[in-house]
Structure formats: structure tokens, C-alpha cells
A and B are shown apart, each in its own frame.
Chain A
Amino acid sequence: MPIMIADQRTHHTLHRMGSLTSAARRSAWRHTPDAEDLRQEAVAARDRVLTDLPGHLARLEETARAHGVAVYRAGSAQEANRHIIRVMRELGVTDALRNHHPLLYEIQVDRAARANAIQLTPLHPGDHLTQLAGEEPGHPIWPAGHLTVESISATLQEKWRVPETYNPDHLASTVRMPLRRALLRAHTAILGVDFASVQEGVFLLLDNDGHNASLAGLARHVILLLSIEQIAATLDDLDALIQVFSLSAWARPLPAYVTHLQSPARADVDGPRTIHLILVDNRRTEIIEEGFGQALRCIQCGACHTVCPVYQQIGGAGYAHSPYTGPIGAVVNPLLLRPDLGEPQAYLCAGCGHCQAACPVDVPIPEMLHAHRRHLAQTRPQGDDKRYFTLWRRLLSHPSLFIPFIRRDRKK
């Protein structure tokens, strides 16, 4: 598989995003009282559920059912999509709005919806722009982070026949109007859940633009999709995760909107009348059994992306059309999606270790990439070494781009 090096303008955009968001993230953590304690609490919260995932899931299922939520288990992406399509048919709806969440890309819900004549509209502005441009999200938080103002303008001119503008505010307003109109007509929403708490059966949606909160308030029916590992034992653990996620993703103590969903709402109260929850495994149980459970600590905040010199060279497109990009993508793609993705992805690493230092839940990314490489070295024919060495050399052949970045990080 070829590794794509981003063009100069895209590279500049990725580099700028990395520099700005990394500096903001470091500053936010520095200004957080007891930051290291918070980080340790978050790590403990992740490990508490990962050491007994089946037990926690059984309790979550029980609690959710007690609150009137319909719960389904999906062992695979196909099974998750079958549940979605069946629920939508039972509701008698042929269109829905969805939020932005890597899990929805992992199961390829858009493709499944199209195949079943269901119109699914992504409401997140960056996600919507990425889809209009015919591309895939390059970052868990900023799916359109790799798109330049020029390319967004060209896409909107072509697809929506709007006048040319390179003003980001005008472009955002152009996207905002139709999405807001769609939101106000919301009937059914498909929502990837950020976190859930087992003890209280609470499902949490985090965002800054408000599309999750508005959908939760307006949609009559919501179908929640939850990666089985994105759970916390209690609301206390959940609070630690919300805070570390927000600090690492958005460099602020809390995002603009933290939406809690627990049970279907009464007729005179905002909230969905029915809630359907799909718990998606899709190889996660095997990942734990295979000894890579620490990879599932990941809370998908994107902090490792913005400090990674390789990601800034290749962007999300270098990670095999997977929703999981950046350093953590290189670890989980071969585990979660297709084992053959492991070959080139295990070498998408400069060995600087910034990813683990930036990770709020201490995922040992470099160690796991080493484990992938060790496994590859033991299993592949000797002749392949040259190919991988060439690939690595190619990635590292721009020292002028790497060295200032690494020096800057060490200074801070």
C-alpha cells in the first residue's frame, strides 16, 4: 500500500493545526489544578472497566433496560448496521441525521444506509464538508482539518453553486444554514456516544457547536452507537474522562455542550421518546485477549495526532482509509479492521515518543508499534525488510520539517 505524503498546502494546514492545538492543549493542562492526579484518575477509570469489560457491559445493559432503553449487541460492523436498518424500518423512517463519531465510520454506516435507501445526513460541519469533498475524516476532532479554505470554497462552488469566497466565516455560514434547517426538522438521529457510565446508565455526547445537544433535545427517536470500551464504571469516573477529553481535544475544562441522555423523555419534556442502544464489539474483545487491551484505553481525543511529526507529513489519508488515524490509528487499525493494515502502519512512526507523552490516558503507543514490528519481523519473508526500510527512510527524509518540531516540543 502506498503511503501518501500530503501536498505542500495540506502539509502547511496540518502543521499549523498541530502547532496551534498542541500549544493550546499544553497550556490548558498547565493551568489545570492537580492535572497529574486527574490524568491518573482517568487512566484508572479506563483500566477499571477494561479489566472486566464483560461484567461492566452486562451491568450497563441491565441499567439501560431498566431506564426504558432498547439494547442490542453487535459483534461486527455488519451486525450493528443490521440493527440500525431494522430499527429505522420499525420506526417507518427513511431519513435520519447523524453526528460525527469515528465509530460511525468504522462500521461504515453511510454505506449501509445508502444500500438500504436511507438518507443519512451528517450534521457536524466538518464531517459534512469532508463528505461533500468526497474525502474521509482525517482527524477524530477536526474531520476536515486537512481541508484548506481554497479546497472547501471550490467544493461548495461545485456542489452548492455558491459564490467563490475564501473567508472562513462566510464558508461556515454557508454550511450552517442548511444544516440548521435540517436540525430543526430532526425526527430520528443516529448518534455515536462519547462515553457511558455503567452504574447510572448515562450516555454522554460532547461537542462545541451544539449539534449533539440539539439532536438530543429535538429528535423523537435516537439510535445510540457505543464502542463497548468507551464506558466508565460510575459518573465520578466519567467526570474524570470528560475533563481529560476536553482538555486534550479542545484545550478547555469542558466542551461547550455536555449532553447527558439516560432514558426516553415524557411527552412534556425535551428528549427522545425512544432510545435504542447498540453496543458494538467488532473485534474489541479479541484485542483484549490478544494482549493489546491498553490500546482500548484510547478516548479518541486526537492529542497524539497533533504532536506526531509523521501525521503532519501524511495526514489522515496515510492511514489506509480508516477512521482511526494518527499514531493510535497505526496501533488499532491492524487490530480492529484488517490485519494486513499492520504492515506499513507499524512503520508510520518517527520514534519520538511525543504521542504517549501527550496521551491523557497513557496509551503506550510506541511500545505497541514496536510489538507490531516485532510480530512482522517474525512472520514476514526476509526480503520485505528492504521495502519497509525504504518506506521509513522516505518518511524521515525531510529532517528540516521534523527537527524544529521535535525541538519545539522539548523546550515546552
Chain B
Amino acid sequence: MSSSLVDLLIQNWERLGGTWERWENPINARLALLRYLHEQKRTEVLAWRADEIPIPGLAQAMQDAGIDLLHPHRRNLSPDLALGLTGADAALAASGSLVLVPAAGRSWLPGLIPIHHVALLPTHRIYADLRAWRQDWRKSRPEDAARALIISGPSFSDDIELHKHYGMFGPRQVHLILFDE
């Protein structure tokens, strides 16, 4: 992965108001995630199914840390949900965006409903921009390219005299954990 793409993604992610950290391998990314959850004092996290998140041993690590991964369901969605955890299918450097494709065990909702969204992204999934991603996926994953959710930064509304209010419907804070594989 070209470091310029990683740098550009980070630069644009920050510009949109996101926070990030980068690790040299998935194990350190897992430790970083646990530390982040600990700092947030969260023991319940709305999440993708653990085996869908590209970090080995995540389910066991979460269990050992006393953190429950809740699979999204209408029953457990509440306006006060604090933290959502997902992977990401791709990222777009030019716009600081994450691409999420819905599938079994990979719900959009952890990235949409909780107040904080934490996403784990292997750096090899970074594309230059929307068009580069679309062109690649139209060859390799044509159906997924047509049903993705692209998230660029936190949710906000500027409906009241253009004053930005973050976390209107979606997360107020988005945190990206990048790692090399």
C-alpha cells in the first residue's frame, strides 16, 4: 500500500473531524481497540459479528476483557447506544471515506446508530477515490459496488443558521484504527 494513499486518507479523515491511529499489524490493532474501549468505559458494544472483523482472536480478547459484542437487532437499538464497532470493506483516500457493504453479520447499524463508531481497516483496502474503488469493484464485486454505504466523517446537521451540530442521527465521533497486514 502506497504510504501517500494512507497519508491522504488520514489527512482527509482528520479534516472531517475523525480521529485515528495506525498500527503495524493486526495484533497491535487489537490491543489498541481494547485500550480504546477501556478508555471509553464500555462493556457493551454494538458490533459486526466478531469473525467478520479482520482481526484474529478478537472474540476471545473481548470476552477476556469483559466486553459483550451485541449483534444489532431492533430489540437492542436505543437512542443512548454508546459505541459501534465495524470493519470496513474499503476506504477512499480523496474524500476520507469508509465503504461498508451489508451482509449477514456485517450490519450497517453499528456505524449508524451509536454515538461513537470505531472502524478497523487494513491499509491494503484503501483506494484513491470513489471512481478507483468503483472501477475495481465493478470487476471483482459488482453486486457489492451497487449496495454499499459510504461514510465520510461524523453525522452532522447544520440546519440551524449553519451551526454544525454533530451526532444528529449517526455517530458524533468516528475513530479509525488502521493496520498493516
Q: Which A residues are within 8 Å of any B CB, using their own CB? A: 13, 16-17, 20-21, 123-126, 129, 142-145, 147-149, 152, 168-169, 171-173, 176-177, 179-181, 183-184, 197, 200-202, 208-211, 213-214, 217-218, 235-236, 239, 242-243, 252-263, 265-266, 268-271
Which residue of chain B has its CB nearest to the CB of A271?
B102
Q: Which residues of B contact A183 (CB under 8 A)?
A: 169
Q: Are B159 and A239 in contact (CB under 8 A)?
A: no
Q: Which of A123, A142, A256 is packed against the most chain B CB atoms within 10 Å?
A: A256
In the bound complex, CA of A269 to CA of B72 (Å):
10
List 7 tightest A-B contacts by C-beta distance, closest first: A210-B170, A126-B159, A172-B165, A168-B163, A209-B168, A210-B169, A258-B150
Q: Which residues of A contact B163 (CB under 8 A)?
A: 168-169, 172
Q: Which residues of A contact B134 (CB under 8 A)?
A: 235-236, 239
Q: Which residues 148-164 in B have Cβ within 8 Å of A in the complex? A: 148-163
Q: How many residues of B contact A (CB 8 A)?
A: 50
With A209-B168, A263-B147 already in contact, the answer to whether A129 and B112 are too (CB < 8 A) is no
Q: Which residues of B contact A129 (CB under 8 A)?
A: 159-160
In the bound complex, CA of A390 to CA of B108 (Å):
56
Q: Are A173 and B162 in contact (CB under 8 A)?
A: no
In the bound complex, CA of A13 to CA of B152 (Å):
28
Q: Are A184 and B130 in contact (CB under 8 A)?
A: no
Determine how close the nearest CB of chain B comes to the CB of A183; give it in whole angstroms: 6
Determine how close the nearest CB of chain A comes to the CB of B38; give it in whole angstroms: 27
Binds A, one of B22-30, B39-47, B55-63, B73-81: B73-81
Known contacts A16-B162, A176-B168, A254-B130, then 11 further A-B pairs from the complex at CB < 8 Å, ordered by chain A residue: A129-B159, A149-B160, A176-B169, A209-B156, A209-B170, A210-B170, A218-B74, A252-B16, A258-B97, A262-B146, A269-B102
Interface string of B4-16 (1 = CB under 8 A from A): 0000000010001
In the bound complex, CA of A135 to CA of B143 (Å):
42
Q: Which of B72, B108, B113 is packed against the most chain A CB atoms within 10 Å?
A: B108
Q: Are B170 and A236 in contact (CB under 8 A)?
A: no
With A142-B158, A262-B147 already in contact, the answer to whether A243 and B130 are too (CB < 8 A) is yes
Q: Are B113 and A261 in contact (CB under 8 A)?
A: no
Which residue of chain B has its CB nearest to the CB of A178?
B79
In the bound complex, CA of A202 to CA of B74 (Å):
26
With A239-B134, A270-B107, A270-B108 already in contact, the answer to whether A254 and B150 are too (CB < 8 A) is yes
With A213-B112, A254-B97, A260-B146 already in contact, the answer to whether A270 and B131 are too (CB < 8 A) is no
B138 in contact (CB, < 8 A) = yes
Q: Are B162 and A256 in contact (CB under 8 A)?
A: no
B37 in contact (CB, < 8 A) = no
Q: Which residues of A contact B102 (CB under 8 A)?
A: 217, 265, 269-271
Among A177, A197, A218, A263, the residue within 8 A (CB) of B109 is: A218
In the bound complex, CA of A171 to CA of B164 (Å):
12
Q: Which residues of B contact A214 (CB under 8 A)?
A: 109, 112-113, 169-170
Which residue of chain B has its CB nearest to the CB of A143?
B159
Q: Which of B72, B107, B112 is packed against the most chain A CB atoms within 10 Å?
A: B112
With A179-B169, A218-B74 already in contact, the answer to whether A125 and B162 are too (CB < 8 A) is no
Which residue of chain A has its CB nearest to the CB of B129?
A253
Determine how close the nearest CB of chain A comes to the CB of B112; give it in whole angstroms: 5
Which residue of chain B has its CB nearest to the CB of A32?
B94
Q: Are B104 and A269 in contact (CB under 8 A)?
A: yes
Q: Which residues of B contact A152 (CB under 8 A)?
A: 160
Interface string of B110-152 (1 = CB under 8 A from A): 0011000000000000000111001000100001011111111
A-B contact pairs, 29 of them (CB 8 A): A16-B161, A125-B157, A125-B159, A125-B168, A129-B160, A142-B162, A171-B160, A172-B157, A172-B163, A176-B168, A179-B169, A184-B113, A208-B157, A210-B155, A210-B168, A211-B168, A211-B169, A213-B108, A213-B170, A235-B146, A239-B134, A242-B130, A256-B155, A256-B156, A258-B97, A260-B146, A260-B147, A260-B148, A271-B102
Q: Are A256 and B170 in contact (CB under 8 A)?
A: yes
In the bound complex, CA of A410 to CA of B107 (Å):
48
Among A143, A173, A184, A270, the residue within 8 A (CB) of B165 is: A173
Q: Are B74 and A254 in contact (CB under 8 A)?
A: no
Q: Are B147 and A256 in contact (CB under 8 A)?
A: no
Q: Which residues of B contact A202 (CB under 8 A)?
A: 146-147
With A172-B163, A176-B168 already in contact, the answer to whether A260 and B157 are too (CB < 8 A) is no
